[in-house]
Amino acid sequence: MLDLLVQNATLPDGRTGMSVAVLGEKIVEVGARIQAAAHQMLDAQGYLLSPPFVDAHFHMDATLSYGLPRVNQSGTLLEGIALWGELKPLLTQEALIERALTYCDWAVAKGLLAIRTHVDVCDPRLLAVEALLEVKKRVVPYIDLQLVAFPQDGVLRGARGPEQHINNLKRALDMGVDVVGGIPHFERTMADGALSVRLLCELAAERGLRVDMHCDESDDPHSRHVETLAFETQRLGLHGRVTGSHLTSMHSMDNYYVSKLLPLMAEAQLQVVANPLINITLQGRHDSYPKRRGMTRVPELLAAGINVAFGHDCVMDPWYSLGSADMLEVAHMGLHVGQMTSQAAMRQCFDAVTVNPARILGLNGYGLEAGCNADFVLLQARDPVEALRLRANRLQVFRKGRLLACAPVWSSTLHLQGRPSSTAYIA
Ligand code: FE2
Ligand 1 centroid to Cα of residue 163, in Å, is 23
Tell me the CA–centroid distance for residue 206 and ligand 1, in Å: 25
Report which secondary-structure segment, H or E, holds 215.
strand 210-215
Q: Is the model's pLDDT at 186 over the cut of 90?
A: yes
Interatomic CA distance for residues 193 and 173, integer angstroms: 21
**Cα-to-centroid distance, 160 and ligand 1 (Å):** 25
Q: Three-state SS across 330-369? A: HHHHHHHHCCCCCHHHHHHHHHCCCHHHHHHHCCCCCCCC
Least confident of 70-74, 101-105, 147-151, 194-198: 70-74
C-alpha 150 – ligand 1 centre gap (Å) = 9
C-alpha 154 to ligand 1 mean position (Å): 13
How confident is residue 367, by pLDDT bands cut at 50, 70 and 90? very high
Question: What's the 49 CA to ligand 1 centre distance in angstroms?
Answer: 29
DSSP, res 96: H
In the chain, the percentage of residues whose pLDDT exceeds 90 is: 97
What's the CA-to-centroid distance between 303 and ligand 1, angstroms?
Answer: 24
Mean pLDDT to the nearest integer, 280-298? 95
CA distances from 293 to 78, 239, 354 (A): 17, 30, 24
Q: Residue 413 is which amino acid?
A: T
Mean pLDDT computed over 40-60: 98
Tens-digit pLDDT profile for residues 232-262: 999 999 999 999 999 999 999 999 999 999 9
CB atoms within 10 A of CB 391: 17
Distance 373 CA to ligand 1 centre (A): 29
pLDDT at res. 15: 98
Please write the tens of the pLDDT for every residue from 329-354.
Answer: 999 999 999 999 999 999 999 999 99
What length is written for the chain?
Answer: 427
Q: How far is the CA of 149 from the centre of ligand 1 (A)?
A: 12
Query: Residue 427: which pLDDT band, with cuts at 50, 70 and 90?
Result: confident
Give the Å distance between the CA of 351 and the centre of ligand 1. 20
CA of 252 to the centre of ligand 1 (A): 19
Mean pLDDT of 25-37: 97
pLDDT tens, position by position, 120-144: 999 999 999 999 999 999 999 999 9
Query: How many angstroms is it from 213 CA to the middle of ligand 1?
Result: 9
Distance CA 415, CA 426 (A): 18
**386 has catalytic annotation:** no
371 conformational bin, left if phi > 0, alpha if psi -120 to 50, beta if neither:
left
- pLDDT, residue 73, reads 92
What is the per-residue DSSP string for 393-417?
A: -EEEEEETTEEEEE-PPP-EE---T
Q: Does residue 212 sit in helix, strand or coil?
A: strand
Cβ atoms of residues 329 and 323 within 8 Å: yes
CA distance 187 to 203: 18
pLDDT at 271: 98
Per-residue pLDDT, averaged over 186-203, amounts to: 98
User: CA-CA distance, 121 to 119, in Å (whole number)?
Assistant: 6
Task: Answer for the pair 247, 282: CB distance below 8 angstroms, yes or no.
Answer: no
Question: 314 C-alpha to center of ligand 1: Å?
Answer: 7
Over range 67-94, report the average pLDDT: 92
The per-residue DSSP string of 283-344 comes to: TTTT--SSPP-----HHHHHHTT--EEE--B-SSSSS-S---S-HHHHHHHHHHHTT--SHH
> What pLDDT, on a 0 to 100 scale, did the predictor assign at position 409?
96
The confidence band for 318, taking pLDDT boundaries of 50, 70 and 90, is very high
Q: Which amino acid is at 265?
A: M
Residue-averaged pLDDT of the chain: 97
Q: Which of 187, 217, 227, 329 is catalytic?
A: 217
Which pLDDT does position 227 carry in this prediction? Answer: 98
| Residues forming beta bridges with residue 378, ordered by sequence position | 49, 396
Give CA separation, 320 vs 59, 65, 148, 246, in Å.
11, 10, 20, 15
In the chain, what's the furthest Cα-to-Cα distance? 74
pTM of the model: 0.97
